[in-house]
Structure 1
Amino acid sequence: MIRIKHIIFTSLAVFLLNCGSEKPQLSIKTSAKNNTAIVGESVKLSLNNPDGVSINSITYLLEGEKVSENLSLKNVKLGKQDLVAEVISGNDTIIAESKLIVLNDKRPELYTFEIINTYPHDPTSYTQGLEFYKGELYESTGQFGESKLRKVDYKTGEVLKSIDLKNGYFAEGLTILNDKIYQLTWQADTGIIYDANTFEKLGIFRYNQSKEGWGLCNDGKNLYKSDGTEQVWTLNTNTFTEDDKIEVYTNKGKLGRLNELEWVNGKIYANIYENTGVAIVNPENGATEAVIDFTPLTEQIANYSSNDNVLNGIAYNPETETLFVTGKRWDKLFEVRVFKK
């Protein structure tokens, strides 16, 4: 009996000691309904302190940057933002974490287009990436065992240069910068670098936080990479680290499944996978400023399927100032001019 009492007493003492060592539960409150706010607004931050903890000081941080309790969202990025409160209580530092979702302050404009020209396109090409460079059109095609890198005569559809990728690679988007072609693969955690003139393989790079490769474009300095979510990552061309990112949002919520990317006059044009829409995105904050509805093009594709042969392939030709659009296994390449509806 004495031994049992000793065990009970010891267990109770350990339980009380552990309870006493637990840190108090603090949480962040915001004046935004469901922690969802509009860019440009101000949000009031406060601390939920149910245990009445003595507080010496509170430091609020949004995405690692110190902010005031009257948080201005004037120049922030859209999407899910990390909100942290560092609380000093006596000699202890207590961390409270939350998420703040920032939406755009206006709905996207609706753009339409006119067809300037229609050119032949190889219907066996499972188009993943499309880009003009020095007046010539380059294409990345996907599927395991079928993936290729090509240079084509866009007016005739003739293949001018082509190489096959290894069977284990499912090619995705591509972009060209300073005579180097950067081509993504889907789930192999590998980007491939080629000489733009010879197609000689120069090296590879690995993905960091983004788990898959989907679309790729560049602004003349950095690469921008999509991974099939609402995120677009900024890649350093020297280290290939993902130095920054945006999350693409509208005034209602996130715009996911972003695929093929194209840089056009300071904006990112993003194809939405399995959708006939292309979003025009502000690369500074992720705002979807406009959407182009390319549904009418699908009516001219004999084998069009919304589940497979979807719209995918956007290339801007600065010489003509027009956009070129095609899809997976489409037999046509469309040259179009885009304008507000």
Structure 2
Amino acid sequence: MNRSFVCCGLLLWLLATPTAAVEQFSYRVLEQKPLVANSFVQGLQIVDGHLYLSTGLYGQSRLLRYRFADGELLDQRHLHPRLFGEGLTVFDDRVFQLTWRARRMLVYTRQDLSPAAVFTLRGEGWGLTDNGRELIYSDGSHHLHFLNPDNGRHLRSVAVTQQGRAIARLNELEWIDGKVWANVWQTDSIVIIDPDSGEVTASVDLSGLLPSSEQRPNTDVLNGIARNPADGGLWVTGKNWPWLYRIELVPAAAGTAESR
């Protein structure tokens, strides 16, 4: 058989194969809650009426637990000045917190946030979530990594792509309805990822969420996704932002930030 004919046929088949469309969403603001404006948010999660927050920057990184209803600070842990806090997830009776370049995952007892263990990472730590069985973290690349929560052992990795294009700089993560939601660092976008294939199935444009009148010299990028299991509310924020915003997704054609 003519080899060039086979290659040409394969190319035509690939070009003719439809690529799954990526759903595009905008947002509507439903509610907002005040947040300590100097919180360099790296990890965010709502569990059992508590807001867990991981903040970054050397010498300023902390793990904090607030009462979500009124924002009262209940517990906090300061990281060593040489550690830069990143993503977090609450899993059973423990809280897991990533560090950026130190290749460490810090493990705390959930009851009082006391240190319980330290796991070693293969590379940098960025975002962290879990699927109820495994920890899932990002490292700044276009991969998600799955770990055993008992010992931090690496189980597998999946490459994240959108219509064949690698999507890197995956930052804060949240597990919602069987999908991984991820902030894309230095953008106003959230991508929704199929954890089995790594394919991006939807994208959310949060441009304009924090009004320019609310921005200050230290205001940084969008970062932080948390779904409240009590009522399904979807909350988002950013680094050094003064607000948590509860939003709902709307098809992109319907417009952005329809109400506040």
Question: Considering the TM-score relative to the shorter chain, is it more than 0.5?
Answer: yes
The aligned runs of 1:39-58 (5 Å cut-off) are none
Instruction: Specify the SS of the correspondent of 1:162.
Output: strand
Aligned residue in 1 for 2:150: 238
Query: Does structure 1 residue 195 correspond to structure 2 residue 106?
Result: no
Larger Rg: 1
Aligned residue in 1 for 2:206: 294
The answer to whether the Cα contact below 8 Å between 1:40 and 1:105 also exists between their aligned partners in 2 is: no
The aligned runs of 1:43-122 (5 Å cut-off) are 105-122=19-36
Aligned residue in 2 for 1:223: 135
From 154, 157, 170, the equivalent of 2:68 is 154
Counterpart Cα distance in 2 of 1:157 and 1:31: 62
Instruction: Specify the SS of the correspondent of 1:295.
Output: coil
Amino acid at match of 1:273: W
Amino acid at match of 2:138: S
Aligned residue in 1 for 2:249: 338
Query: Does structure 1 residue 141 correspond to structure 2 residue 55?
Result: yes
Aligned residue in 2 for 1:131: 45
Q: 1:31 and 1:173, CA in 2 relative to 1: closer, same or farther beyond 3 A? A: farther
Deviation string for 1:299-335 (max 9, x for gaps)? 2662267x96100111111211121101100001101
Q: What percentage of aligned pairs have identical amino acids?
A: 32
Counterpart Cα distance in 2 of 1:32 and 1:222: 43
Instruction: Specify the SS of the correspondent of 2:37.
Output: coil
Aligned residue in 2 for 1:322: 233
Q: TM-score, normalised by structure 2?
A: 0.87
Instruction: Specify the SS of the correspondent of 1:263.
Output: strand
Deviation string for 1:252-302 (max 9, x for gaps)? 511110010000010000100011100000001011000011112132662
Amino acid at match of 1:132: I
Counterpart Cα distance in 2 of 1:324 and 1:116: 10
Query: Does structure 1 residue 267 correspond to structure 2 residue 179?
Result: yes
Instruction: Specify the SS of the correspondent of 2:165.
Output: coil
Measure how far apart 1:246 and its partner are.
1.1
Name the structure, 1 or 2, with higher relative contact order (CA <8 Å, separation 6+). Answer: 2
The answer to whether the Cα contact below 8 Å between 2:47 and 2:229 also exists between their aligned partners in 1 is: no
Aligned residue in 1 for 2:163: 251
Question: How many residue pairs align between the two structures?
Answer: 245
Structure 2: give runs of 5+ residues left out of the alignment: 1-5, 253-260
Instruction: Specify the SS of the correspondent of 1:167.
Output: coil
The answer to whether the Cα contact below 8 Å between 2:49 and 2:69 also exists between their aligned partners in 1 is: no
Measure how far apart 1:336 and its partner are.
1.3
Aligned residue in 1 for 2:121: 207
